Amino acid sequence: MEQGVRYSQFCRTALPLIVLSMALWSATGHSQEVAASAATTCPSFNYAAVPQAVHSDVTSAEVSALNETTVIAHLQPGLLKPQVEALIKQGFAVEHIDWRASPHYRWSTSFEFSAANWQQALTKILRPYQLQLTLYANRTAVVAASAEVQP
């Protein structure tokens, strides 16, 4: 009878400690494995322009690349949002754009300009509207109002 009491006391005190230490040990090992595999399988997002061929289905904004450093953009009168989204998707290979600005901004005239790269081209378009573009590594972008007001 005394052996049964000691055995149950041992199970109540030592068994939770053993289970806890095994859980912590396996969680630590698993997190190291996940970190190691994530570091080797998750490619970093390249914020530089992605060279792509010009798509004929993009009607709101026509863009051509003379070489990999010069970008020529042609904007049409109409809503700004679809034209800027087409440029962002083409220039930075973004899959999803979160537009946090007014969807009613309009581009008033036909306009063609050149820029040294995609970043400068989008800056020329977004700065007058006091908008800024933020790119993320998961191939998403956010277009939102600038934190600072520019004269």
Q: State residue 142's pLDDT score.
A: 95
The CATH architecture one would assign to domain 61-145 is 3-Layer(bab) Sandwich (3.55)
94 has a pLDDT exceeding 60: yes
Cα 124 to Cα 68: distance, rounded to the nearest angstrom: 18
What confidence category does residue 52 fall into, taking pLDDT thresholds of 50, 70 and 90?
very low
d(CA 128, CA 142): 17
How many other CB atoms are there within 10 angstroms of residue 145's CB atom? 12
Rounded to two decimals, the pTM is 0.55
pLDDT tens readout for residues 25-50: 665 555 455 444 444 444 444 444 44
Largest CA distance in the chain: 95
Calculate mean pLDDT across residues 69-87.
Answer: 91
pLDDT tens sequence across 122-143:
999 999 999 999 999 999 999 9
pLDDT at 146: 85
